[in-house]
Amino acid sequence: MNKPINNTDQVKLSLKKRYFKEKVFKSAGLLAIGIAFMFLLVLLTDIITKAMPAFSQTQVNLTVSIDADELGLKDDSSREDFMAADFRQPIRQALRDRFPEATKRKVKKELYTLVSIGAEYQLRDAVLENPALLGQSVTMDFIADDDVDAVIKGAIDRTLPESDRRVKDQKLGWILEMEASGEVHKTFNWLFFSAGDSREPELAGIKGAILGSLYTLLVTLALSFPVAVAAAIYLEEFAPKNRFIDFIEININNLAAVPSIVFGLLGLAVFINFFSMPRSAPLVGGIVLSLMTLPTIIIASRSAIKAVPPSLREAALGLGASKMQTVFHHVLPAALPGILTGTIIGMAQALGETAPLLMIGMVAFIVDIPQSIGDPSTVLPIQVFLWADAPERGFLEKTSAAILVLLVFLIAMNAVAIRLRKKFEKKW
Partner 1 sequence: MKTLKLCTAALALLASGSTFAAGRDYISIVGSSTVYPFSTVVAERFGKSTEFKTPKIESTGTGGGMKLFCKGLGVDTPDVTNASRRIKESELTMCHENGVKEVVEVLIGFDGIVMANDINSHNFALTRKDIFLALAKEIPGEKEGELKANPYTMWNEINPELPAIKIEVLGPPPTSGTRDAFVELAMEGGCKSFDWIKAMKKKDKSAYKSMCHTIREDGAYIEAGENDNLIIQKLQKNPNALGIFGFSFLDQNADLVKAATVDAATPEFETIASGEYPVSRPLYFYVKKAHVSQIPGMEAFLKEFTSKKAMGDEGYLTDKGLIPLDEDKYTEVATGIKELKNLEL
Q: Quick check: 226 binds partner 1 (CB under 8 A)?
A: yes
Q: Quick check: 150 binds partner 1 (CB under 8 A)?
A: no
Amino acid type, 345 = I
Q: Quick check: 46 binds partner 1 (CB under 8 A)?
A: no
For residues 121 and 183, which CB has a smaller minimum distance to partner 1 in the complex? 121
CB 344 within 8 A of CB 413: yes
For residues 11 and 230, which CB has a smaller minimum distance to partner 1 in the complex? 230
Cα–Cα distance measured from residue 19 to residue 423, given in angstroms and rounded to the nearest whole number: 40
Cα–Cα distance measured from residue 121 to residue 143, given in angstroms and rounded to the nearest whole number: 11
For residues 174 and 225, which CB has a smaller minimum distance to partner 1 in the complex? 225
Q: Quick check: 153 binds partner 1 (CB under 8 A)?
A: no
Q: Quick check: 129 binds partner 1 (CB under 8 A)?
A: no
Scanning residues 343 to 372, which ones bind partner 1 (CB under 8 A)? 361, 363-368, 372
Measured torsion, CA atoms of residues 386, 212, 206, 398, in degrees rounded to the nearest 10? -30
For residues 23 and 168, which CB has a smaller minimum distance to partner 1 in the complex? 168
Q: Which of 110, 179, 249, 392 binds partner 1 (CB under 8 A)?
A: 392
CB 285 within 8 A of CB 216: yes
For residues 308 and 373, which CB has a smaller minimum distance to partner 1 in the complex? 373
Q: Quick check: 265 binds partner 1 (CB under 8 A)?
A: no
Amino acid type, 92 = R
Q: Quick check: 131 binds partner 1 (CB under 8 A)?
A: no
The residue among 294, 289, 295, 298 whose CA lies nearest residue 235 is 298
Contacts of 92 (CB under 8 A, 6+ apart): 108, 112
Cα–Cα distance measured from residue 344 to residue 20, given in angstroms and rounded to the nearest whole number: 42
Scanning residues 185 to 214, which ones bind partner 1 (CB under 8 A)? 198-200
Q: Which of 102, 373, 401, 405 binds partner 1 (CB under 8 A)?
A: 373
Parallel, antiparallel, or unpaired for β 56-65 and 137-143? antiparallel
The residue among 255, 328, 300, 289 whose CA lies nearest residue 417 is 300
From the CB of 393, what's the least distance to partner 1, in Å?
Answer: 6
Q: Which of 35, 44, 160, 315 binds partner 1 (CB under 8 A)?
A: 160
Q: Which residues are paired to 115 by β-bridges? A: 144
The three-state DSSP-derived secondary structure of 371-417 is: CCCCCCCCCHHHHHHHHHCCCCCCHHHHHHHHHHHHHHHHHHHHHHH
For residues 62 and 268, which CB has a smaller minimum distance to partner 1 in the complex? 268
From the CB of 18, what's the least distance to partner 1, in Å?
Answer: 49
From the CB of 282, what's the least distance to partner 1, in Å?
Answer: 8
From the CB of 221, what's the least distance to partner 1, in Å?
Answer: 8
Give backbone dihedrals phi and psi of 362, rounded to 5 degrees, phi first.
-85, -5
Q: How many residues bind partner 1 (CB under 8 A)?
A: 51
For residues 155 and 239, which CB has a smaller minimum distance to partner 1 in the complex? 155
For residues 185 and 223, which CB has a smaller minimum distance to partner 1 in the complex? 223
For residues 46 and 97, which CB has a smaller minimum distance to partner 1 in the complex? 46
Cα–Cα distance measured from residue 360 to residue 350, given in angstroms and rounded to the nearest whole number: 15
Contacts of 373 (CB under 8 A, 6+ apart): 215, 216, 218, 219, 281, 282, 283, 286
Give backbone dihedrals phi and psi of 62, rounded to 5 degrees, phi first.
-135, 150
Taking only Cα atoms into account, the Rg of the chain, rounded to an integer number of angstroms, comes to 31
Q: Which of 54, 209, 232, 283 binds partner 1 (CB under 8 A)?
A: 283
Q: Quick check: 253 binds partner 1 (CB under 8 A)?
A: no
What residue ranges bind partner 1 (CB under 8 A)?
79-80, 83-84, 117-118, 121, 156, 160, 164-166, 198-200, 218-219, 221-223, 225-226, 229-230, 272, 276-281, 283, 328, 361, 363-368, 372-374, 376, 388-393, 396
